[in-house]
Amino acid sequence: MKTKKENIKENILHLRNEGIPFDADLFKDLRVNRSAVERRTATTGTRRSVKKEWQAAWLLRAISCIDLTTLAGDDTHGNVSRLCAKAIHPVRKDLLQAIGMADVNLHVGAVCVYHNLIPEAKEALKDSGIPIAAVSTGFPAGQISLEQKIKQIEQSVKSGASEIDIVISRRLVLTSDWKALYNEVSQYRKACGEAHMKAILATGELSTLTNVAKASMVCMMAGSDFIKTSTGMESVNATLPVSLVMLRAIREYNEMTGFKVGFKPAGGIRKAKEAISWLILMKEELGTDWMKTDLFRFGASGLLGDIERQLEHFLTGRYSAAYRHPMV
């Protein structure tokens, strides 16, 4: 007799994650050993090393996976336009020429802005092929009504966002109201329509890694195209232990359903060395398919500048000043 998981996988016909019916039996016994997770991730940056031209190649891959982000209270038309210009040309032309990549159309994975700045981003990114991601559902805290959240999503899609970063209601996780969380995220997914949805778990506010694992599974069951660690506004944002737990949940969901769900660490990732650690974790846990922009993104603003500095160091042997690689 086939198991419930085998029957689910046989019935999947769509490449995009359409979700599956809610079933608490699929995750109710899930438990995470924190000490084992921390031991596993403590050596991620030390067991493997990427040097010389291979490091440069990995850093160029990291650039293509960045959701270049500005979510500041003082955002203006001007700095959004400059951010979009950097998204289209993320590395100085002289550096790309020296590396032999001048003919490659290198750009970031997306530009992420608040809803009201979508028109400015759309104008600045015209004909670039770079998607606009908009934060929604009362980002970052999510403390508005469900009706308001759905309306925000619909307005963002109508304005031109093709990716929507939603925030879940953390209280539903903390009270283990998993069916309510599933219903909430399912409604967000429906409101997104053709736009891809990234579910932000705000892992720093979920108390336990077991909660992170269960929330990840429920959001994927509800149709999330990506699961994302953080808003970047919590006291603790993206960490390797949290990421490992989420990646293991993605692997389990893929094995169970056949759907590939993407992953986005966000918040506090500023160094090129950190970017490589995350890429290594992706490769080891999920394989090379998850090292591409359709299944992996960094939510970052300062990371790109440090990667550009590292590329210049690769070419010259010297570290340049940060002002040589301005973001906006």
Say if CB 111 and CB 328 are below 8 A apart: no
Residue 197 lies inside a defined structural domain of this protein: yes
The residue from 149, 198, 214, 264 that is catalytic is 264
C-alpha dist (Å) from residue 235 to 2, 226, 227, 230, 238? 45, 22, 19, 10, 10
The residue from 165, 198, 214, 306 that is catalytic is 165
Per the annotation, the verdict on 67 as an active-site residue is: no
**Which CATH number is 44's domain given?**
3.20.20.70
Please give the residue range of the domain that contains residue 310. Answer: 21-324
pTM of the predicted protein model: 0.93
Residue 1 lies inside a defined structural domain of this protein: no
Residue 4 lies inside a defined structural domain of this protein: no
Residue 7 lies inside a defined structural domain of this protein: no
What are the residues whose beta carbons fall under 8 Å from the beta carbon of 292, sequence distance 6 or more? 64, 65
Mean pLDDT of 81-103: 94
Residue 67 lies inside a defined structural domain of this protein: yes
Say if CB 34 and CB 209 are below 8 A apart: yes
Query: Structurally, how many domains does the chain consist of?
Result: 1
User: pLDDT at position 13, please?
Assistant: 39
Sign of CA dihedral 298, 304, 308, 310: negative
Residue 116 lies inside a defined structural domain of this protein: yes
Residue 14 lies inside a defined structural domain of this protein: no
Which one, of 100, 91, 106, lies nearest residue 312 by Cα?
Answer: 91
pLDDT digits (tens, 9 = 90+) for 203-236: 999 999 999 999 999 999 999 999 999 999 999 9
Per the annotation, the verdict on 122 as an active-site residue is: no
**pLDDT > 90? residue 44:** no
**pLDDT > 60? residue 9:** no
pLDDT digits (tens, 9 = 90+) for 255-286: 999 999 999 999 999 999 999 999 999 999 99
Percent over 90 (pLDDT), the chain? 88
**pLDDT > 90? residue 6:** no
The residue from 86, 149, 214, 228 that is catalytic is 228
pLDDT digits (tens, 9 = 90+) for 306-324: 999 999 999 999 888 777 7
- DSSP assignment of 259-308 equals ---EEE-BSS---HHHHHHHHHHHHHHH-GGGGSTTTB-EEESSHHHHHH
What are the residues whose beta carbons fall under 8 Å from the beta carbon of 66, sequence distance 6 or more? 90, 108, 109, 297, 298, 300, 303, 304
Mean pLDDT of 288-295: 95
User: pLDDT at position 3, please?
Assistant: 54
Per the annotation, the verdict on 264 as an active-site residue is: yes
User: pLDDT at position 11, please?
Assistant: 43
